[in-house]
Structure 1
Amino acid sequence: MDNPQLHAVHQFLKSQLTEASDLSLDGMRTNLDNVGRLAPPLPGVTREVVDTGVVRSEWIRPADADEGRAILFVHGGGYMLGSVDSHRDLISRIAVAAKAPALAIEYRRAPEHPFPAGLDDTLASYRWLVGPGGYAPAKVALVGESAGAGLLLGAALQIRDTEGLDSPGALVCMSPWTDLTLSSSSLATVEDPSMKAPYVAMMAQAYLAGQDPKTPGASPLHAELAGLPPILLQAGAAEALRDDSERFAERCKEAGVDVTLELWDDMFHAFQLWAAMLDEAKRAIEAVGEFTRARTS
């Protein structure tokens, strides 16, 4: 591996999945949150807990934020892990790149709260943002990674189909999990240090709790996609869920959706989380900011 930054991240990720690791649900949740806390706060970015009446939510606001625009950020973690703590550095960097405040939400997670609890929380948070929150839908971008991107796509489908509720100006999906049937060839064949097929299968089972994995709200790949807002898809060319982005982009094009797919050479699943260590992640986040500003200004 010629990229020393990438090598260092790979080694760290592999160290998190050893026999000595606490792979209980609580252990994995705590570990992911603790890793997220390692990144120091970004200069000029403030945080504020806000009562939306939905779930615990936090405004993450750069000093130069355009208060007329907003991001709704939905974290990943296989529908079972993740929080604002685990993703605060990524959220902060996206808010800075987009020059907009980001509302980060802690949706209910499986297995305690299976599908559609997280989807319901995402949709309700959007309703708050464009209702009591005071933002025009066209000035809002929904941004998420991995399972969070799956949730925002499911929410976008429901928004599209709800009379009197306008769609956001843009969707940004980083390493989206779009197909819970687990039928992608990349999941079976790609060696990804941040994602292993057995864990993915376990998380899908916990989230679905016996429901059909082709349910559109859970697997947007199997939905009717016409009428969605402009979408930016980012994925690692060397990630296990690469096919989820490539196949989703193809289906969007067939449906006439304005979609942009970026495949980042040598990158793994959700590599944007490692922007503190990885230059490619920094550049990907800058691209997210540019796309968001262009579609919501």
Structure 2
Amino acid sequence: MSTEQQQALDAILRQAAFPVGSSVDEQRRQLRELTSAQPLPPEVSVKSGALGGVPVTEITVEGVEPRHVVLYFHGGVYVLGDALSAAGLASQVGRRTGAKAFSVDYRLAPEHPYPAAVDDALAAYEALLRDGIAPSDIVFAGESAGGGLAVATLVNARDHGLPLPAATYAMSPYTDLTLAGPSIDTKRDADPLLSRELLEPRVADYTAGQDAGLGLISPVFADLSGLPPLLVQVGSHEILLDDAVRLAQRAAAADVDVTLEVTPGAPHVFQAYGPLLDEATAALDSAGRFLTARLTGAHA
């Protein structure tokens, strides 16, 4: 990543950051404006559907024969975003794994606080299994809160006695809603998008009085034993750096096959900025290799 690329992206993101104290409605409106300004590539097709009664956006890429399934969870601190807004990143994962992607439109807080998102994510996965798709043909992926939700769904599925997918890919995962990671404060000036002040009100929206340290809310505190291979990617210029690092450490301590990739100078969910940042494509390519090896290995 050139210094020029990093500085240009940093400036763009600082200009787009939510003002501290802005309301949920204001943040949702701002996010819709940002995502609507980024059209999908012409080879990416989307259509609405449902899995287990949960709305999903089904994403296919022209020229990619889908042999596998990516169950994708969008970001937005459990309060913002939607399945369609994540279609671009989900399609990038599907493109690299020969997969059809289903982006899950899980219910959002504050209208639907915990455990609504967790329940919807598990229901969507259960529906794939009921449809006869082998778990060895499924991977989870997600960014930010969606990365945390992907890991929470693994834990939830394991605890429900379900077979687990072949692997999971978490981009800048939001895994500690107690906001106890040191980088929440130490990376404050480096992070162009997020801050403790922005996250705290949204934590309250989602937890609605529940303990933010519960494993299905903050999977960094969950028992991670028995989970499938996990790839965690994060940038060094984000306050959630320690959410990713501690998740990887906890997974390793639980004997999970985990890979942690930290990209110097990169911001939160840098994989979304392919046209602006060389490292975005490199990270997605690395994820494609990781997931494909696990999908292929599952059939060995």
TM-score of the two chains, using structure 1 as the length reference? 0.93
- Asked if 1 retains the 8 angstrom alpha-carbon contact of 2:135 and 2:165, the reply is yes
Structure 2 residue 174 is matched with structure 1 residue 177: yes
Hey, what does 1:281 align to over in structure 2? 280
| 2-structure distance, mates of 1:173, 1:245 | 9
- Asked if 2 retains the 8 angstrom alpha-carbon contact of 1:79 and 1:110, the reply is yes
Deviation at 1:221, TM superposition (A): 1.0
Q: 1:181 to 1:22 in 2, by over 3 A?
A: closer
Unaligned runs of 5+ in 1: none
- Structure 2 residue identity aligned to 1:103: F
The counterpart of 1:150, out of the listed 148, 151, 176, is: 148
Deviation at 1:3, TM superposition (A): 2.3
> Per-residue displacement from partner, 1:118-139 (whole Å, max 9, x unpaired)?
011111011111212x311111
Deviation at 1:228, TM superposition (A): 0.4
Structure 2 residue 55 is matched with structure 1 residue 36: no
| 2-structure distance, mates of 1:240, 1:18 | 15
Percent same amino acid among aligned pairs? Answer: 37
Deviation at 1:167, TM superposition (A): 0.3
- Asked if 2 retains the 8 angstrom alpha-carbon contact of 1:146 and 1:177, the reply is yes
- Structure 1 residue identity aligned to 2:200: A
Hey, what does 2:257 align to over in structure 1? 258
Instruction: Give the number of equivalent residue pairs.
Output: 294
| 1-structure distance, mates of 2:264, 2:207 | 32
- Structure 2 residue identity aligned to 1:174: M
Hey, what does 2:266 align to over in structure 1? 267
- Structure 1 residue identity aligned to 2:180: S
| 2-structure distance, mates of 1:17, 1:141 | 31
- Structure 2 residue identity aligned to 1:92: S
Question: Which ranges of 4 or more aligned residues in structure 1 deviate by more than 6 Å?
Answer: none
Hey, what does 2:200 align to over in structure 1? 201
| 2-structure distance, mates of 1:46, 1:9 | 28
Structure 2 residue 59 is matched with structure 1 residue 86: no
The answer to which of 63-72 and 135-144 deviates more is 63-72
- Asked if 1 retains the 8 angstrom alpha-carbon contact of 2:71 and 2:102, the reply is yes
The counterpart of 2:163, out of the listed 161, 166, 174, is: 166
- Asked if 1 retains the 8 angstrom alpha-carbon contact of 2:77 and 2:144, the reply is yes
> Per-residue displacement from partner, 1:203-251 (whole Å, max 9, x unpaired)?
1111111111111101111111110000000000121111111111111
- Structure 1 residue identity aligned to 2:276: M
Deviation at 1:22, TM superposition (A): 9.7
* 3-state DSSP of counterpart to 1:72: strand
| 1-structure distance, mates of 2:34, 2:216 | 30
Q: 1:18 to 1:121 in 2, by over 3 A?
A: closer
| 1-structure distance, mates of 2:119, 2:263 | 31
TM-score of the two chains, using structure 2 as the length reference? 0.93
Hey, what does 1:102 align to over in structure 2? 101
Alignment of 1:12-161 (within 5 A): 12-17=12-17, 23-132=22-131, 134-161=132-159
The answer to which of 203-212 and 62-71 deviates more is 62-71
| 2-structure distance, mates of 1:10, 1:265 | 13
- Asked if 2 retains the 8 angstrom alpha-carbon contact of 1:42 and 1:92, the reply is no
- Asked if 2 retains the 8 angstrom alpha-carbon contact of 1:35 and 1:86, the reply is no
> Per-residue displacement from partner, 1:14-44 (whole Å, max 9, x unpaired)?
112476x993312211221221222232242
Q: 1:85 to 1:31 in 2, by over 3 A?
A: farther
